[in-house]
Structure 1
Amino acid sequence: MEHSRVPRAALTNSRSFYLTSDGSGKSDTSYCAQDLCNEDSDSEGSEDSRDGGSEYGDSADEDSLVNPMYRRDLKSLLSKDWNLSNVFASEKHCYHATNPILVIRDVGVVGLPLSVRDVNAVKGAAVRSNSGEAESHWQGVWEIDASTISFENPAWSQYLKESVQHACRSLGIRGTTGRIRVALRKLLLLSSDSWVAPHMVIPATGGHFATVHIMLPSRSSGGLIRIKHGGECKEYACGTRDMSRTTTLAWYTGVMFEMDRVTDGHRMVLQYHLIDRTSSIPPAISHEVLFTEKIHSLLVPWKADSAVPEKLVYLLHPQTQDHNGLCGLQLHDARLASLLDTAVGQLGFCIGIATVVFKITGRGFPDCQDVHDDVTRQWKEILSRKTTIHDVTTLDGTAISSQLEFIKGDETIPWDLCKGIEREECKSTSWSLNVRARCERRYERAALIIWHPTTEVARLFGPHSLLATCKSLSKITLDTPKEDAHDALITDAISRCSDNPTAMVDAVCHVAFVWNDMSLWDRAITAAAEVAGISVFADLDKLCTAISKFGLEHVQTKLQIGLKHERGAVAKLQLLVELDQRASSSCPADIAAAVSSWAKVQAKDIIGSPETMSSSEQPTTLLLLVLKFGMQNLFIHQAISLADSQYLIELTKVILATPTLEDAYDVYTLAAAALRTSAVCAPPISQTWLLNDVSPQGSLENAKLFLRCLRKTPELCSTVLHKMTAVSAYGLSQLHAYALRAVIPLLSHVGETFDGNLLSHPPIVPAIRALFDISLQNPPYIFPPVLGFDNEVEIYVTALLRVAYKNGFWDAFQSSFDRNAERLSANPSVLQTFLIKLMPAGAQADGPNSQTHFLAIVPKLLMTYIGCQEVREDAGRIALVIDRCLLLSRFGVEDRGALHHVLAEVLPSTDPSDDYLHNTLLPLLPELTVLAAKHNSYDTFAPIFQTTLLAWIKLLNRLPPHRSRLEDLRLIDLSNWSCSCDDCQRLLMLLKGFVSGKTTLRRLTASKLAHIRALCKKHLPQGVQYVDQADFIEFSISNDGYTLLVWKAKFAKRDQALTILKQEDAVIRRVLGPHYDTIMAGLKGPVAEPSCQNEAGNSLQYGTRSRPRPGLPPSTLASVPAPISASTSTSILAPASASSALEAGEIRDEDDSGPRPVKRQKVAQ
């Protein structure tokens, strides 16, 4: 029993049916299913959207071929409503269907479900067919003519339309727009003993092609319906005890129909006829014959015309599953492809199937389909479309090509394959991580490809191809009579052997085995072996069958032909090994022994051939195959005699990688033989080397291999190492790469492979020193790390020290370092990394670098490092050096004058320059304060503190030029700015960060200009000029004002350098020594004069004047000129007001912004 349901989504957007009358004057209740096409399209994936044109509605005007007739006609033909499903009947059950409110003239309304009273009333108005009437197939059935029937429920017409739509789809009817008329013929009442005799359903009127029975809710038993066509039978058990079920049964005319007796109850049936009114292709069970005639007549002129495309791509529906060939197509598409292949086979056209991939890029709406259930809303904007064709196969799945090029329009149906594809469901979606809401969606559809008979594809895969001939030969069995046609096919297949030797051998040898024809097998093998070599023997089962049938002596001659034409030794030995194994398992013992003996003879000849030792062969596979025959000694001997160095190296690697082989063979002999050809050299480095380049690895691995194999021979190891130092032809960047990528890994390998005796051997020592020299002379030059690159300096130093710490290497490393220290000074970052790695910041270090022996190099390293100009100008680096100098004593290492040398380099012999004072000495004071407390070395740093502070005091009392003009210049104070809008915030940032004498605020409207102008008039002093234009305001300050601003900013950070003054008084006196009074008095500075207001109420500040403070001897201040004070918010000595003025000798380390000072210190007068 068949069951099917119509999706509710398919039963929408219907229109009401209309009434017509036939010629006899009887009124037929009928309607035209005008919306069938559109509804089918919505529910079936646009299946019928090609009606009257292509799927996307492209017109013939788009065709651009020299002769576009063939494409246009083929599109029209394939787009017609062909029924290729071969479905001749269908059934649908619906529970709680619409009640039609059936009204019969002279009876009235018939209630549903059907009751006994209503049954008797219907019988009273009906006519019963008599069982004795031979011309009637319906026996014992009560009938009422349609003219006496009406339906009072308006919703019944919608239900009827939906039922007819489902029946049409189930019967394979497509494109029903305006074509189908539904006519009610009779009301049938079946009771006990009603039955239908077997008969062929014939059309009742012109255009009648199918019948639909709607069985209204009623209770009955029996009455099994059988519908037969073409040897197939379908049975429908329409009897039911469920009185809520409505059943719709439809079948084509031309089928055999019969029904068993109804055994109990009653069954009421509405009988409708489906009538085709307009179609040029009338609906039928199958259009295969008509389709074949039409397509054949179309392709005959196309074949004869040379001005045509070589192929046409016809778009199908999406594939149902990931299978090649017909298996992956939807049912209608699969039948269309099969029928098309049969129809065009005689003409030589080739039919293929492919997957069309569409990639659409644009801005989309994430999860729109899930949220709104609407695929058309997935895209906000489409930016690009790309269409490609992949996985082209024949109908049986044989691969033709992985991709297919095509000409849009000239070779595609529809014109643009990608048009409208975004309305379908996508296969996958990928969202961009960089661009918001941008994504790429992938869609897939199947396609038919039709190749012209003159194309290469049609020659190789078409109906007249070698493959087609081989398929015919493969069908020959013992029961197939031998005919002359078979000989013609065999001759044709052998003559075209070059097209596909393997397919020809399989087919012809199959016939030879069936006919037991040795000569035929000889013909096939001889022809194929000359073309394809031993690949024709890939099927070992058939080869063993030939040996059993025709004998080994006969078969081996053909095998030797294949071996002769095969160049690869691996392939030959592989065949011999597999043949030996297969024969031993599937052939009799005597045949298997003969095959094994013959295979060993052939293998020996192959191994002894010079071609076997060529670099194109694979030593790994060869050695494994040779082991199968036990000829490894012969193989290695031949390799040493005939192979080149690269081959020997690869063979040595294979032996070393196999523990069982390493003990059995003397790899020293292989390595020595390879070394004689000078295979080892410095690895090639690209001229355009990048940090992540690993090109040296190939030659480096060879060198490691030689050192491992030759470790018992120091002279040869020394030769290998010296060859790796031949780098004179390298440029600077190449040397940097070579030191990190090749030399350091090689030294590490040497440390792991060589023992102490070998490392101290006279030929080895200079080679290792030379490798260390290369490493230390060519450190990386990128520092700090660049985005996208590794920290090469960190990697380099870590790797080099790891090697140097190995037993026996430190002395060579230290001597090399001493020789190349000056050269390393060109790269201070490398020296700094060495310093950090050798001596961590902690009091003690872990690991081998904590040993005194390894730290002996540090003093030399420190003095070299401090000798770099950029190090001496960097306070942080100077502090690092001083810290490491003081740490040496904790490790028990003498600094050898390193600290004295460092301090001498830092402290100039004369007064320091202003830049050196500001950029180096002053920032160094906080660092020294920390180090002095850490190491208790105040006395050591006292000269630096005293020199720096005295120079600072002297610099503070030097005024900028034009002092007289600066005294009256009002400085900018923006603390009272009364607006915080965006434009004011931009203006404040500009005014606070004056980097030149002018700045401009742009992109201002007229209202914003007025707003900014009012605030500038209120808050800016006269020293700042501003001029407003159409949409911007330009601000300027005089040269003197700008000079003062720079001066103020330059000295505002001096308080950060005076952290030493936060120590106890005894410590301060200890550090400042005899200069204590002078420094303390000079740092206090003059008293700031009170500020005044300008006309606008702005807070203004003038230059201060120096005057003696109470309690300070005039003689003390006389020796130190009074400096210009900075802003009270930045100076630790300047008072905030008269009430909080400092007493003589008092200093503070905080400003006076808080309610009271945090810390006070009294300095003795």
Structure 2
Amino acid sequence: MAASGGAPAAPKPAQNIELELKGVLSSDLDFKGEFAFGKPFPDAPNPCLDLEDIGLVGLPLSPAMARSVIGKCRQAPFGKGERTIVDTEVRDTWEMDATKIKFSNAAWGPFMDRVVREVCQTLGVNFAASKPRAELYKLLVYETGSHFLPHVDTEKANGMFASIVVVLPSLFTGGDAHTSHSGTKNLLNSSNNSMTTTTVLAWYTDVTHEIKPITSGYRFALTYNLVHTTTAIRPALSSADGAMTKLRAIFNSWNENKNAPEKIFYLLGHHYSQVNLSASALKSSDAHIMAILDTLAKEIGFGLGLANLELRQSGSADDDGGYGRYGRYGRYGGYSDEEIDDNDVGFMEIEETTTTFENFVDPDGNAINYDEDLEIDGSLQRELERRGDYEQDYEGYMGNGAGSLERFYRSSVLVIWPRWSHVGGGGGDRRAVGALERLETLNSDSPTPEELVDFKYVCSVVKDLADEDQSTAVERLFAAAILWHDAVLWTEAVAQCCAPDMSLDAVTEDDMHDARATFGFSVMSYSLRPVILGHKSNERLQFVQNLKALQEDERDNDGLAIGSFIREMLKEVLDNMRPYSSLAELQSFSKEMLAEGGASMLLDRLLPQLSKLTTSFNVGVFEKFIDWLHGEWDLTTTTVADDEVASRNTVMTSLLGILLPMKTLFATKIIEAPNPGYGYGYYGSKSTVVQGDSAPALALITKCLDYGNPQLAVSLVESINAGATKRAADSAKPNPGPANTALVGVRPVDPLQKEWQDAQASVAIVPGIVFTLVPAVKDLFQNRAPEINLDTQLMQMAQTAVDIKLNAAKAGGVVKREELAKLLDVTKALSNSDALLTSIISTLKSLPWNEASWIACMEEFQTRRQSKEATFGPPVLEMIMVYAQKVALPAVPTHNYYGGGANINVAVSITALHLSSRMGGLAAVSLVINRIMRPATTTEAYVTQCLVPLIPELKILANSNNVSLATSPFSLAFRLIVAAWMDKVLGQKPNLNRVKEFSDKIKRVTCKCTYCTQVLRFLQSSDQQSTHISRVGAPNVKHVTREFGGRFGNDVKLEVIRSSPQGLSVNKASELARAAKWGGLLTQGRGLLASIGSDAVLKSIWGDSYPAALHELLTKDQRNAVITQGAPAQAGPSQPRMPNNTQLAGTAVPAIPAKRKSMEGVGAASKKQKVTKKSTDVIEISD
């Protein structure tokens, strides 16, 4: 509708840039075209083919001629990755090169021209703009069974964008072409009326197509490459006035709205190779859209680019009949009766999805550099999955399950961005690029209207250009204004190219000289004054300094004006420093001021500004400036006046005074600490811990001392002392109550609770800082002249840090040795050293028992004991006795879930014994031995795994303490170990009469059948108490039971195993089983005694009880030697039992039990008794 003035209404500004832009591109440009073409041509001429080595070929093609043609062809290959291979499973076709083909009918050429026009019309190609040409490529012969699996055509020639297949008359069936693109399918038939009709098929090169098998006859075809022959973008612009108006409004709004998207992706209809990724290679609607946008980009000014996208999905496949799979579009499918091939297999689960953006180029095919991550949003991914070229790779069924599946969706994408965007480094404004190219070729001293428009446009957008383009623009704008001798344009260029937020580096000295020579300095000063006054960066100082070069010109009539302008601008710049971010800025200002007025000018003009402009963001730069300035003054070799020296000292003090309040004195650092290894997947991993870091504070104190300001160093120490005291006081406040974690996210955390938690975190870092800082500061001040005494501050600081650390330990924290070392080191050389040490030791001794902390304390105290016995000796002795009483020793193992006993780690006991011996001597060792020897219960496993392995360690400990093995506590320990072994391992000696009677009964068994022989072998030799014989059968069970059941009485019990067939369980008395291994046990026991020592050593340990206590383990020779020596059998202490709750020291040695006495004669043959030799037929007990 027209406006009141008759002019068309102005379009409304765009509200949703992306939505409106995509709406116009997808629906308002009215492009119509297909991706494939198929049409019969009944009026097609006979080409009169003349084939090399064959001659003319008649049509329709006869079977005989078809076989002759095949005889001169070769098997057609296909491309697979970078290779070209022949595989008839994929492609079973015969081919002949174009060089062997001639056409004898002149009408064939015009016919093909007609075909090309019709194909282009259907595919949407502008014939007039592209001037495409069909180039003959191959002759193909398909025989019965020939086929070609799904594929896309490669671009076989420069500029090729489509393939044409001309199917010549020949009788055949089958061979349909199945084409698909972006989810759309099209079936092209060429077998209907194939004997008399020529059929033409065509498709774009990136269209997937498959030639189904020929079911009969021969398919005879010519293939052509359709190639465009111009560099113009296809197709040419069609009438789209309404769309163009909408697009202009959208792009104008976008260029003005910096809150709009920085870029927009628009998915193209085709996927282009990297080689052909440019505007001139686009097809159909893609070319149409690009042609319109490129025209608008050069008119309005915005960026255009092309890129390739690939969406890759990977995961496990679901090839279970097609049921339950996620298909191409993520839909869940059901059963299907159709045969499923690999291309139809879907995902059971998509495990990973990645999107790749690559080959970013401008419309001319030039690469665009981009450092930023061009993030692909989810909507574009979903669109790519719906419309992109589709391919998948399935490794096949793996025997016990489906294999992995990879699926790829690929498409090319149009990237569009406004001129203010940083995409591509801020470049890509198509209008600016063209304008700069035209400004480069100026050759007239007056501008044309078009050149003036270019100049004005580049001025307006120079701030949005990439850095490289910005420098080019400044150069060409200045050159144009000077070429045209137009002071107004030069002033405009200066205003835009030197805008307050732009860099001044692009303006060169040559630009200034040329401008002065052309316009005079009065014009320059008029143009430059607002630039210098209004610029936001400190680059303006260098800019003004560069103007000094103008005074060296041969023209000196305006030299005074130049000098006056420079002085005026320097005063303005030096008195109004901008926020700084680099050391170079501070250096340039200080050098200018020092040259003008020395250190006093820095004090009067620069320091007040630095005090205002220095923040937490640039304090690091400020500190580097202080270091640089001190270094410059420190390296001065010339004599400096006293007043200048005094000014310099004042400047340095003032600079440090600005710096110190902005630096943190309680810094932290993050260190790695090993995890304890609890929980699956975390063993051996590391976590981070926040600790106090004294380095920054120490560096500041050192800087103050080195820069001649010890009073500031002292103030820093006092500040740290005060800060530590305050943190300790704040942390000592009572906890207002635990945070209600159940309500996190529902209501804010209690501010009092948060304040208390912050106080605890704040105080935790103090010891880490103070423990390192105190000795370091003491060393720093120790050799200073005059001497500065900081003992009071350092003592208070150390006391505070020690109290904080000890309070943390009282709260249940584990004491680590390295931390304890720092705790003790901080007391060195302090006046209150003894008091601190006493407090530390007293607190640590009073801590709740924690074995790791206790050992850490003892080890550290023991290390310092040599140099300070009086301080650390008594605590070590006291703590080791507590350790001996509380250290965790191996417990008697209980049976686990599977029936076996847990292993005992005897190394724990050994470590405890050696540690006790090293720090506490025999008294501590006695306590540990007492605990080891009196467990709540005693088992065979405890004896063999815990007690017996201690024998060599006890010998080592006795030797290291310079005592004999017969000395307590070692003598009693050996007696207890042997007694326990004899009680729990050796056991009571079997009754000889019962064993002999049992052997006699075995001899009376005469049956030699298989099962009786098995039972006899078990009864004679096995040291096991029972055995099971399976699958014996009821008759044999009765037979064995009859042979053994009543004969052995209680010595042997037979039980039927209820199975099919029946089995038999044989059990013999435990005493008889022990008799079978008695000899081996005696050998073990005698070896046990030998590990303790010789007979003389053993007698010294057991004393008078030696023959009685060790009777079963002594050989006949040892027993006879005792008798010969006249030692009374029952005199002296007998073998002790394992103690219960009595202390080791002073334990009474019990007498030999009565039942042990009754066994004295067992196993020793009387003088009248005949000794029976060992036989395999009987059980015998050896002495």
Could you tell me the TM-score, scaled by structure 1's length?
0.50
Could you tell me the TM-score, scaled by structure 2's length?
0.49
